[in-house]
Amino acid sequence: RMSRHAQQLRDHDVNPCVAETDASRKCLDDNNYKKDMCTAYFLKYKSCRKFWHDIMMQRRRNGVRPEMPSAEERKKMLESMG
Per-residue pLDDT of 66-75, as tens digits, reads 999 999 999 9
Reference 12, options 77, 65, 73; nearest CA is 73
Domain with 15 in it: 4-80
What would the pLDDT profile of 2-42 be if each residue is shown by its tens digit?
788 888 888 888 899 999 999 999 999 999 999 999 999 99
Distances (CA, A) of 25 to 6, 10, 61: 15, 13, 33
Q: How many domains does the chain have?
A: 1
The Cα 66–Cα 46 span in angstroms is: 22
Sequence-distant (6+) residues with CB within 8 A of 9 are 15, 18, 21
